Amino acid sequence: MIIEVEGLRKRYGPRKAVDGVTLSVREGEFFGVLGPNGAGKSTLVEIIEGLRPADSGTVRVLGRPSWPRDLDLLARLGIQTQSSAFFTRHTAREHLRRVAALHRVSSVKADGVLTLVGLDDSADTRVEKLSGGQRQRLAIASALTHDPELLFLDEPTAALDPLARKQLWGLLKSLSDRTVIYTTHHLDEAETLCDRVAIIQRGQIVAVDTPVGLRERTGTATLEDAYLALVAA
């Protein structure tokens, strides 16, 4: 297993953000984390990433505890966040080369990743001038330069218009041979991309299954309907 989480709990004061979560993710899975606002998804994912401690429970990532913070382990992860930061006054290419240099990865490799995410035409555009879709591509590229063994994507399509969102799907699909932990509120996207999804509500897992399994279990036609049936139950 690439990720093993057992009995994980985290409170903020009286609020139970993560309330006894157990799950595992296999190598090569595109694993979706779904749930209503405030369900505890970000808290759970940040604990798995080793960016936040849990109150109790265990997390092993690539066979190692992710807390106390483990810089060697972090170096093997690729993390794209909602607030991915860019080097200002840099072009897309310059930004990515700098990110790569931080990981001791060559500029040649960085340029290859820029091509991979479909940003060749915007390579000389300053990061401030990139469109929302291009910014997300660059954020994903930044998480990919060091060829991580595990990639975390946090709502990469959240702020995109419908066309840009669909266009990004191609890139996301191309990542499907990797192990990806993918948070989203777009159920159509999760249905297309994810091998399995976990649905989280009030800090607890409501279901973990394939999109097809969840549809069958709820007698619904789409993952969105299955989700709505499960979180309303």
Ligand X SMILES: Nc1ncnc2c1ncn2[C@@H]1O[C@H](COP(=O)(O)OP(=O)(O)OP(=O)(O)O)[C@@H](O)[C@H]1O
Contacts from 19-26 at CB under 8 Å and sequence distance 24+?
19/202, 19/203, 19/204, 20/57, 20/203, 20/204, 21/57, 21/200, 21/203, 21/204, 21/205, 22/205, 23/198, 23/205, 23/208, 25/1, 25/179, 25/181, 26/1, 26/2, 26/179
Contacts of 80 (CB under 8 A, 6+ apart): 139, 140, 142, 143, 151, 152, 153, 154, 156
When binding is defined by CB under 6 A, the residue of 12, 55, 176, 217 that contacts ligand X is 12
- Which pair of structure tokens corresponds to residue 174? 């191309």
When binding is defined by CB under 6 A, the residue of 8, 23, 31, 43 that contacts ligand X is 43
Which of 83/88 has CB closer to ligand X? 83
Q: How far is the CB of 101 from ligand X (least distance, A)?
A: 32
- 173 interacts with ligand X by CB under 6 A: no
When binding is defined by CB under 6 A, the residue of 25, 41, 148, 208 that contacts ligand X is 41
Which of 50/95 has CB closer to ligand X? 50
Stretch binding ligand X (CB under 6 A), from 35-43, 72-80, 117-125, 162-170: 35-43
Stretch binding ligand X (CB under 6 A), from 20-28, 40-48, 110-118, 224-232: 40-48
> Quick one: which of 34, 6, 30, 18 has its CA closest to 198?
34
C-alpha 145/C-alpha 103 separation (Å) is: 8
Stretch binding ligand X (CB under 6 A), from 21-29, 30-38, 124-132, 208-216: 30-38
- 38 interacts with ligand X by CB under 6 A: yes
Find the helix packing angle between 223-232 and 211-218, rounded to 10°: 60
What number of other Cβ atoms are within 10 A of residue 25's Cβ?
Answer: 24
Q: How far is the CB of 211 from ligand X (least distance, A)?
A: 19
When binding is defined by CB under 6 A, the residue of 40, 78, 133, 156 that contacts ligand X is 40
- 95 interacts with ligand X by CB under 6 A: no
150 in Cβ contact with 63 (< 8 Å): no
- 35 interacts with ligand X by CB under 6 A: yes
Which of 34/193 has CB closer to ligand X? 34
Binding-residue total with ligand X (CB under 6 A): 11
> Applying CB under 6 A, which residues contact ligand X?
12, 15, 17, 35, 37-43
